[in-house]
C-alpha cells in the first residue's frame, strides 16, 4: 500500500486490508505492508487524525512507523497498490519493465465511484472518514480477488 507520506492513507490501507485478510483466514499467507513515495515523515507514527478515525472502527495504527518505498519493495511484493495517480506515476517510474504490471490503483479493485483515495492531510475530519470508507470497500473485494486468483480458498 503506497501513498505520499505513509502517515495517513497507506497505513490505514495496510491495517484495514490486513483485517480483511484475517477475515478470510489468510493471515500468514498474505503479507501486507505500506510505504510512502516521499521522505518527509520517515520514522513518524501515523497522523493522529488517521489513528483516531481508525480507532473508532477498532483498527489500531499505533505501532506503525513511516518509511519510504525502495526498489527492493518492487521486487519483493507481488502487488503494489497506489492510493492516487501521482503515487501510481511515481511507482511506475521507479519500477523495472517486468515490475510494471504489479502496480495498480488500489480503488480500481473496489466498487465505489472513486478511483483515487483523496489526500486527507489538509482536509477536515470528514476526509479521514472518507479514506476509511473507500479503503474498507476496496479491501473487502481485493482480498477475495487475490484469493480467487491464487486458489487460496
Query: Could you give the residue numbers annotated as active site?
Result: 3, 9, 119
Q: Is 27 in the site for ligand 4NP (CB under 6 A)?
A: no
Question: Which of these ranges, 2-10, 26-34, 69-77, 97-105, lies near ligand 4NP under the rule CB under 6 A?
Answer: 2-10
Residue 6 in contact with ligand 4NP, rule: CB under 6 A = yes
Alpha-carbon gap, residue 73 to 113, rounded angstroms: 29
Place of cell 488517521: 50
- Going from the C-alpha of 57 to that of each of 16, 61, 98, 136, 152, the distances in angstroms are 10, 11, 38, 11, 27
Distance of alpha carbon 152 from alpha carbon 1, whole angstroms = 21
Asked if 117 and 131 count as a contact pair (C-beta separation under 8 A), the reply is yes
Q: Is 4 in the site for ligand 4NP (CB under 6 A)?
A: yes
Binding mask 104-143 for ligand 4NP (x = CB under 6 A): ---------------x-x----------------------
Applying CB under 6 A, which of residues 8, 15, 51, 82 lies at the interface with ligand 4NP?
A: 8
Q: 54 in helix, strand or coil? A: helix
Interaction between residue 34 and ligand 4NP (CB under 6 A): no
> Which chain residues interact with ligand 4NP by CB under 6 A?
3-9, 36, 40, 119, 121
Amino acid at each position: 500500500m503506497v501513498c505520499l507520506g505513509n502517515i495517513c492513507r497507506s497505513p490505514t490501507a495496510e491495517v484495514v486490508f490486513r483485517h480483511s485478510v484475517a477475515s478470510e483466514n489468510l493471515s500468514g499467507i498474505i503479507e501486507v505492508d505500506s510505504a510512502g513515495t516521499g521522505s518527509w515523515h520517515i520514522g513518524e507514527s501515523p497522523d493522529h487524525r488517521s489513528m483516531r478515525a481508525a480507532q473508532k472502527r477498532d483498527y489500531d495504527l499505533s505501532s506503525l512507523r513511516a518509511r519510504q518505498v525502495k526498489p527492493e519493495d518492487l521486487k519483493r511484493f507481488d502487488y503494489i497498490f497506489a492510493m492516487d495517480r501521482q503515487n501510481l506515476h511515481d511507482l511506475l517510474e521507479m519500477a523495472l519493465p517486468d515490475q510494471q504490471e504489479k502496480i495498480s490503483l488500489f480503488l480500481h479493485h473496489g466498487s465505489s465511484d472513486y478511483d483515487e483515495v483523496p489526500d486527507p492531510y489538509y482536509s477536515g475530519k470528514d476526509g479521514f472518514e472518507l479514506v476509511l470508507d473507500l479503503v474498507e470497500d476496496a479491501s473487502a473485494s481485493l482480498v477475495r480477488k487475490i484469493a480467487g486468483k491464487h486458489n487460496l480458498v
